[in-house]
Amino acid sequence: MKHEIIDNFIHPNEFQKLQILMLGEDLPWYFMDNIDYLDDEDKFQFTHNFYDQDNGGAGPEIFDFIFKELKPKELSRIKANLIPRTAKIQIGRFHTDQNLRRFAKGQTTSILYMNSNNGYTEFEDGTKVESVANRFLTFPTQMQHRGTSCTDKKVRIVINFNYLME
């Protein structure tokens, strides 16, 4: 499997509820002084960890409607990233989200794009996936990828899901 894109992944009513949460004032965002690597001197983002298998979290229950579709064997992490607008597109470095040895085979990453903007996700082969609201991108966690900022909206928000399929 390379990658798979599903547009309009979530029913519009469910997506709107999630979008209100993600773009609203009630969700706490935490400053991270890096994006891809600790030595990112000029890059930063805000994150919200919904769930981490090692630390628990607010609970993946709010994503039950997604898990009914995915049916993961085991959940590793759910993390949202908010990158503020920049004057010109800033491109991250290639990375993998998590590479847990026990998840080596079958570990999957999915990205749910919360708002449409001119940012994107890029793979090492040059494939670019545009940030389109309610787009769901799925690929093997071992695939190197990178994200960008945006210039046409105040923020670019994505939710990353890391899980084991089989």
CA 11 – CA 63 distance, rounded (Å): 13
Which homologous superfamily does the CATH classification assign to the domain defined by 4-23+31-160?
q2cbj1_9rhob like domain (2.60.120.620)
- The pTM for the full model equals 0.89
pLDDT of residue 58: 57
Instruction: List per-residue pLDDT tens for the chain, 166 residues long.
Output: 689 999 999 999 999 999 999 999 999 998 887 666 556 667 778 889 888 877 766 556 778 878 887 888 888 889 999 999 999 999 988 988 865 555 567 789 999 999 999 999 999 999 999 999 999 999 998 899 999 999 999 999 999 998 888 6
pLDDT of residue 119: 98
Domain ranges of the chain: 4-23+31-160
pLDDT of residue 76: 85
In sequence order, what are the residues at sequence separation of 6 or more whose Cβ sits closer than 8 angstroms to the Cβ of residue 86? Answer: 149, 150, 151
